[in-house]
Structure 1
Amino acid sequence: MSDPNCLFCKIAAGDIPSTRVYEDERTIAFMDINPGSRGHLLVIPRAHSKDLLAIEPEDLAAVTRTAQVMARRVTEKLSADGVNLINSCGPLAWQTVFHFHMHVIPRYEGDTLRLPWQPAPGDRDEIAAAARALTA
């Protein structure tokens, strides 16, 4: 199930390029192009769900499992000192793409990130380098 007008459905279908770092039958993890920190990535279900209130329990469980895999990976491969897992449900909670997703945001000693961060385009070379480290 997908929504032809949904950005993340288009990413899942391969119609819009993304830097994927993990995928399985239910989920895809890809680098955020407006990162809050080095290695910031998103985990989405392949099936479209508008938000936390609409997602099927099985897809929610799958996204959570993949987020845990990626949290371990950013800790091990990018030497993150901590990890924020964030889901925003609704515009007042900062949701801007209406396809359920979980942010995996690595945290580093001394980083200046304060939540909510102000998304801004990241350095593409740094995003690519973090992706290579996460898939190595």
Structure 2
Amino acid sequence: MDTEWLSGEDYPKDCVFCRIIHGEEEATFIYRDANVSAFLDIHPLFEGHVLVVPNKHFSNIMDVDSESLNATMQAAKLVSEMLVKNLKADGINIVHSTGKSAGQTIYHFHLHVLPRHAGDDVQFQRWWFSRSHKASREELDALGARIIR
């Protein structure tokens, strides 16, 4: 693919995703355009685990601009469709982490697109419900007021 649109772009040299986008590190690209790149994760949770990354460097979701965020989500949708069609995925999880406490290890905003198959033995829903509780209306209203103040 023509990557002339990358010429002259300044980026942090210590960012592995920036180095991949600029051709300094190898990757298996699934999709690329002027705004976003999608490539296979080198530590896949499932076969077909894809990372969708804006071509501009943003550390996390709070830093990313609207154009890049929209392009990243559109690419995640396209990649999801490819995984369902070509790998016969039964479902898709899209995962993002911002911050060390959330598990972020690469500080370049990205989405994990995970193809799911019946019987793949990763039970997000079981884990989720084992860790959650039914919140009361009062709890939700009080928390909502704290968030929007």
Cα deviation for residue 4 of structure 1 reads: 1.3
Native 8 Å contact 1:37 1:113 kept in 2? no
Unaligned runs of 5+ in 1: 116-136
2:75 aligned with 1:62: no
Q: SS where residue 104 of structure 2 aligns?
A: coil
Deviation at 1:114, TM superposition (A): 4.5
Q: Could you tell me which amino acid in structure 2 is paired with residue 93 of structure 1?
A: A
Question: Structure 2 length normalisation: TM-score?
Answer: 0.75
In the comparison of the two structures, how many residue pairs are matched? Answer: 115
- Structure 1 distance, partners of 2:11, 2:43, is 24
Query: Larger Rg: 1 or 2?
Result: 2
Gaps of 5+ in 2: 1-9, 125-149
Within the candidate set 18, 23, 34, 2:43 is matched to: 34
* Structure 2 partner of 1:127: none
Deviations 1:92-120 (A, max 9, x none): 111110000000000000001255xxxxx
Task: Give the partner amino acid of 2:56.
Answer: A
Relative to the length of structure 1, the TM-score reads 0.82
Offset of 1:47 from its aligned partner?
0.3
Kindly report structure 1 stretches of 4+ aligned residues shifted beyond 3 Å: none
Match in the other structure for 2:117: 108
Structure 1 residue aligned with 2:87: 78
Q: What secondary structure is seen at the aligned counterpart in 2 of 1:61?
A: helix
- In the other structure, the counterpart of 1:6 is 15
How far apart in 1 are the matches of 2:103 and 2:34? 28
After TM superposition, give the deviation of residue 46 of structure 1 in Å: 0.5
RMSD: 0.9
Does 2:56 match 1:43? no
Percent of residue pairs bearing the same amino acid type: 37
Matching residue within 96, 102, 111 for 2:105: 96
> In structure 1, what is the Cα distance between the partners aligned to 2:99 and 2:41?
19
Counterpart amino acid of 1:61? N
SS at match of 2:70: helix
The higher-RCO structure (CA 8 Å, 6+ apart) is: 1
Q: Quick one: which amino acid aligns to residue 92 of structure 2?
A: V
